[in-house]
């Protein structure tokens, strides 16, 4: 029998308790033994909860209990969660989490600490909710040299963009709808501004390329500048607009990582990943491209990924799995301003002015009825080169195009 | 150092040799030690091969060599492959294969034999080529009660259907193109008639539901009856045509499994899986739907899945992984004739005759210009009920609709 504790009884934490109960038989069969929830640590009261006998406010009860071998950290953030995680690992307990902020900022340190104590620090639920992605990268694609990973990593912004594009809603209206449906927090700025996607691409980059990529080195742009008009222009050149996190191996062995809205070709399967769903593409030298798709958030999908990690801890008690990466620094990061791509631009400037800036015949003009603006697609060039061409010309939108 | 042998130096076997060489560093890092190819067993000559020093025609050299701990079976079929696999397992060697025919027909027996000898029999490459699917089902979704799995499991037929639908080609022409591109065998009947997809859905069903599903119990229909006209009608009701393998838990704990062409809604991501690509959807009670997409065949993708299995054998030497299922029989199988769905029908019969058979207003008539035929969609009903309604009326096509 494996005894576990859950730290933080919010949406995900309570989902874990629910799944351990609902799918107890299946979980015991997979783990090779039963999984028993012994403590739930939370400072709040949950009167009437059917888990009422398990609640405690005293984290140290978990820390001191030698029977508890796996601790689920669903506290979130980097305050108490970091302290609790360090203390659990120091006490020789496996830790399983969905806390992407903590993994993105302290993953290197915590994995190292886990290794020293011969326990596991697992975080499948931190990226893509319930979509299996970390394990497939480290195990199933283990014979591939991975060159690139990119995808739709945030369900809230994908819901908003899908509503804008498919139903012609404004960003503000779509966001209100997302909130009403429980797809967005009261303060959605972490999603809208791209920070959530940034943390996830940091974790994915570290797993694929073996070096910690810290969020502060990742150029991050959210969907705040995307307007309805952009969706219309994008459709006219066979594209849709998606917020992508992307990381790849750049020249010189550096890692490039960034988050930004992209126009992507409707011919790509990723363009069909709509609503709150997530989709992640991995490119390897043997496999080519593989895509993983599913619910990127939500109580039960995320809890199901945590439960899979608990099972893995049970099966590998005393036998660590080889998930680790080196520390990273600013010097390892490729500056994405150098990265070339075609660009989509919307501007109030005249076509003549643009022809002057880029050379006649160089641009693909995108026409839309009922618009006095000009939108166009450039040939492939770096962000720097684009800025140089557009000097003195205002840009209302400028997004990379992924063909 | 792990010593391995490859049995059968065809497309996949030679791909394994290539990947072990090209990605040696990455593989050694993942496996925790180097992987050395010691023998290649084949009855053919490969003059000038850079692996020439490794060839032997004598399987027993592998069988008797205690240094060989992992054997890659890429012989194919159920003749020599079955004999070699049994003998390798009996000799205490792990066996890794892409041989779906062998796993679908003898998986239960071989996994049992492996268990008795405390070694592994792995077959990630047998379904979906290089797409990670077997491990995600058994590990990442281990906390889910899986209710259904379905997908595009055969790249050849998907290429043919895509060419018919997107380029208006006839089945025969598209098939010739597939052959010219190396996507179809000289005798493509195993693909076209659905037998290849049948073997794969058998393996997936066994993994998801824990019981061996033998191919002879799986109603299997290929793409031979799909005509260009059907693709046109399908498009008119927002669908495309895909050959799906499908398995699900049916009432009474039985397993239903079948292979047949379906009309599927273009709103589904699976509808966008085109060309030689495969896509597999798994439905679990916590995760909802997840989809795995990638190259379902081909030398390097398939070899990359085999290499991942080799790595897994290396990491779990002497510690078997819990992949097993019970034996199955005809009595465990739900007869798919009872399964209800909407149906797409194409017939030379008149609308009046159909209204008589089904009742006026019950059918959705699909009109297409330039056709004297009638095509329509029925309400949800079983195959038996459909046959009863259509008694005496010829059907040119009848495919289930997946909304």
- Please list, in sequence order, all residues whose beta carbon lies within 8 angstroms of the beta carbon of residue A130, skipping any fewer than 6 positions away: A294, A295, A298, A300, A301, A302, A303, A304, A305, B286, B287, B288, B290
Q: Compute the nearest-CA separation of A339 from chain B (Å).
A: 26
Of B130, B140, B286, the CB nearest to A124: B140
Query: Does the pLDDT of residue B322 top 70, yes or no?
Result: no
Of B286, B289, B295, the CB nearest to A288: B295
Which residues in chain A are closer than 8 Å to B138, comparing Cβ atoms? 30
pLDDT of residue B370: 64
Of B19, B136, B286, the CB nearest to A303: B286
Contact B207, B321 (CB under 8 A): no
pLDDT of residue A352: 87
Spacing of C-alpha A114 from chain mean position: 23
Report the alpha-carbon distance of residue A267 to residue A222 in Å, rounded: 24
- The complex scores an ipTM of 0.93
Spacing of C-alpha A205 from chain mean position: 11
Average pLDDT, chain B: 93
Mutation pick from B142, B277, B322 vs chain A, by most beta carbons of A within 10 Å, is B142
* Structural domains of chain A, ranges and CATH numbers in brackets: 2-130+299-330 (3.40.50.720), 134-294 (3.30.360.10), 339-402 (3.30.70.1150)
Of A140, A269, A310, the CB nearest to B132: A140
Of A132, A143, A272, the CB nearest to B26: A143
- Encoded tokens for A42: 């939370």
Q: Compute the nearest-CA separation of A356 from chain B (Å).
A: 40
- Contact yes or no for A23 and B285 at CB 8 A: yes
DSSP letters, A203-251, are HHHHHHHSB---GGGSEE--STT--HHHHHHHHHTTEEEEEEEEEEE-G
CA distances, A39 to each of A52, B5, B79 (Å)? 10, 50, 55
Report the alpha-carbon distance of residue A299 to residue A260 in Å, rounded: 27
Query: Does the pLDDT of residue B74 top 80, yes or no?
Result: yes
- Contact yes or no for B145 and A291 at CB 8 A: no
- Contact yes or no for B286 and A319 at CB 8 A: no
**What pTM did the predictor assign?**
0.94
Which residues in chain B are closer than 8 Å to A145, comparing Cβ atoms? 23, 26
Of A291, A300, A311, the CB nearest to B294: A291
- Contact yes or no for B143 and A307 at CB 8 A: yes
pLDDT of residue A251: 84
pLDDT of residue A138: 87
- Please list, in sequence order, all residues whose beta carbon lies within 8 angstroms of the beta carbon of residue A21, skipping any fewer than 6 positions away: A37
Closest residue in A to B279 (Cα) is A291
Mutation pick from B143, B267, B299, B300 vs chain A, by most beta carbons of A within 10 Å, is B143
What would the mean pLDDT of B199-210 be, rounded to a whole number?
Answer: 96
Contact B151, B278 (CB under 8 A): yes
- Contact yes or no for A287 and B300 at CB 8 A: yes
| Residue B60, number of CB atoms within 10 A of its CB | 11
Contact B310, B23 (CB under 8 A): no
- Contact yes or no for A285 and B143 at CB 8 A: no
Closest residue in A to B297 (Cα) is A287
- Which phi-psi region, left, alpha or beta, contains residue B129 (left: φ > 0; alpha: ψ -120 to 50)? left
Average pLDDT, chain A: 93
pLDDT tens per residue, range A253-303: 899 999 999 999 999 999 999 999 999 999 999 999 999 999 988 899 999
Which residues in chain A are closer than 8 Å to B301, comparing Cβ atoms? 286-288
Closest residue in A to B273 (Cα) is A269
pLDDT tens per residue, range B346-374: 999 988 898 899 988 889 989 766 666 78
What three-state secondary structure class fits B340? coil
Contact B298, B84 (CB under 8 A): no
CA distances, A8 to each of A12, A72, B359 (Å)? 9, 9, 58
Of A284, A286, A301, the CB nearest to B286: A301
Q: Compute the nearest-CA separation of B157 from chain A (Å).
A: 19
Query: Does the pLDDT of residue A371 top 80, yes or no?
Result: no
DSSP letters, A162-190, are HHHHHH---HHHHHHHHHHTTSS-SSTHH
pLDDT of residue B251: 84
Contact A218, A198 (CB under 8 A): yes
CA distances, B279 to each of A13, A182, A267, B347 (Å)? 32, 30, 16, 31
pLDDT of residue A269: 96
Count each helix (H run) and each strand (E run) in chain B, helices first: 14, 16
Binned at pLDDT 50, 70 and 90, residue A360 comes out as confident
Which residues in chain B are closer than 8 Å to A294, comparing Cβ atoms? 287-291
Q: From B168, B226, B172, select the one nearest B194 (Cα to Cα).
A: B226
- Contact yes or no for B142 and A303 at CB 8 A: no
Q: Please give the share of chain B, as a percent, with pLDDT higher than 70.
A: 97
pLDDT of residue A369: 64
pLDDT of residue B361: 84
Report the alpha-carbon distance of residue B72 to residue B8 in Å, rounded: 8
Query: Does the pLDDT of residue A60 top 90, yes or no?
Result: yes
pLDDT tens per residue, range A130-184: 899 988 998 888 889 999 999 999 999 999 999 999 999 999 999 999 999 888 8
The two beta strands, B121-122 and B397-402, are unpaired
Query: Does the pLDDT of residue A126 top 80, yes or no?
Result: yes
Binned at pLDDT 50, 70 and 90, residue B206 comes out as very high
Contact B257, B333 (CB under 8 A): yes
- Contact yes or no for A290 and B145 at CB 8 A: no
pLDDT tens per residue, range A183-228: 888 889 999 999 999 999 999 999 999 999 999 999 999 999 999 9
Which residues in chain A are closer than 8 Å to B32, comparing Cβ atoms? 322
Contact A127, A199 (CB under 8 A): no
Contact B124, B305 (CB under 8 A): yes
pLDDT of residue B319: 62
- Write the secondary structure of A328-360 as one string of H (helix), E (strand) and C (coil): CCHHHECCHHHCEEEEEEEECCCHHHHHHHHCC
- Contact yes or no for B135 and A139 at CB 8 A: yes
Report the alpha-carbon distance of residue A230 to residue A243 in Å, rounded: 13
pLDDT of residue B318: 61
Q: Please give the share of chain A, as a percent, with pLDDT higher than 70.
A: 97
CA distances, A298 to each of A5, A16, A31, A181 (Å)? 21, 12, 24, 11
Query: Does the pLDDT of residue B321 top 80, yes or no?
Result: no
Tally C-beta pairs within 8 A across A and B. Answer: 176
Contact B141, A29 (CB under 8 A): no
Q: Please give the share of chain A, as a percent, with pLDDT higher than 90.
A: 80
Contact B341, A180 (CB under 8 A): no
pLDDT tens per residue, range B49-66: 999 999 999 999 999 999
Active site residues of A: 200
Mutation pick from A2, A140, A302, A324 vs chain B, by most beta carbons of B within 10 Å, is A140
Query: Does the pLDDT of residue B175 top 80, yes or no?
Result: yes
- Contact yes or no for B23 and A272 at CB 8 A: no
- Which phi-psi region, left, alpha or beta, contains residue A386 (left: φ > 0; alpha: ψ -120 to 50)? alpha
- Contact yes or no for B130 and A286 at CB 8 A: yes
- Considering the candidates B29, B38, B115, B200, report the single residue annotated as catalytic: B200
Place of tokens 């007869």: B335
pLDDT of residue B164: 93
φ, ψ for residue A379, nearest 5 deg: -70, 175
Spacing of C-alpha A200 from chain mean position: 3
Contact A221, A194 (CB under 8 A): yes
Report the alpha-carbon distance of residue A184 to residue B6 in Å, rounded: 52
| Residue A130, number of CB atoms within 10 A of its CB | 32
């Amino acid at each position: 029998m494996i005894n576990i504790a859950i730290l933080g009884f919010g949406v995900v934490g309570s989902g874990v308790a629910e799944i351990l109960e609902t799918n107890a038989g299946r979980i015991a069969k997979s783990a090779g033994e039963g999984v028993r929830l012994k403590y739930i640590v939370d400072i709040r009261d949950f009167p009437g909860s059917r888990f009422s006998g398990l609640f405690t406010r005293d984290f140290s009860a978990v820390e001191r209990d030698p029977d508890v071998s796996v601790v689920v950290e669903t506290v979130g953030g980097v305050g108490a969660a970091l302290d609790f995680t360090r203390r659990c690992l120091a006490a020789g307990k496996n830790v399983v989490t969905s806390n992407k902020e903590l993994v993105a900022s302290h993953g290197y340190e915590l994995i190292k600490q886990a290794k020293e104590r011969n326990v596991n620090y697992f975080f499948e639920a931190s990226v893509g909710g319930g979509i299996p992605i970390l394990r497939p990268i480290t195990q199933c694609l283990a014979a591939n040299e991975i060159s690139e990973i990119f995808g739709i990593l945030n369900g809230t912004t994908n819901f908003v963009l899908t509503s804008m594009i498919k139903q012609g809603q404004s960003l503000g209206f779509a966001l209100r709808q997302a909130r009403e449906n429980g797809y967005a927090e009261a303060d959605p700025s972490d999603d809208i501004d791209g920070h959530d996607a940034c943390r996830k691409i940091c974790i994915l980059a570290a797993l694929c390329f073996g070096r910690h990529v810290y969020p502060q080195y990742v150029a991050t742009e959210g969907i705040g500048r995307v307007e309805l008009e952009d969706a219309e222009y994008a459709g006219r050149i066979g594209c849709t607009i998606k917020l992508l996190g992307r990381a790849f191996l750049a020249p010189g062995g550096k890692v490039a990582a960034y988050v930004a809205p992209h126009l992507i070709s409707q011919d790509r399967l990723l363009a069909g990943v709509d609503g709150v769903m997530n989709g992640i593409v991995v490119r390897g030298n043997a496999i080519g491209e593989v895509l993983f798709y599913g619910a990127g958030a939500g109580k039960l999908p995320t809890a199901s990924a945590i439960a899979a990690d608990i099972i893995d801890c049970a099966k590998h008690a005393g036998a660590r799995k080889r998930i680790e990466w080196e520390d990273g620094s600013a010097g390892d990061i490729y500056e994405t301003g150098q990265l070339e791509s075609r660009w989509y631009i919307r501007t109030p400037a005249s076509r003549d002015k643009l022809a002057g800036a880029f050379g006649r015949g160089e641009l693909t003009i995108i026409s839309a009825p009922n618009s006095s603006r000009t939108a166009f697609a450039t040939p492939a060039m770096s962000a720097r080169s684009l800025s140089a061409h557009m000097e003195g010309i205002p840009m209302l939108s400028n997004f990379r195009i992924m063909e």
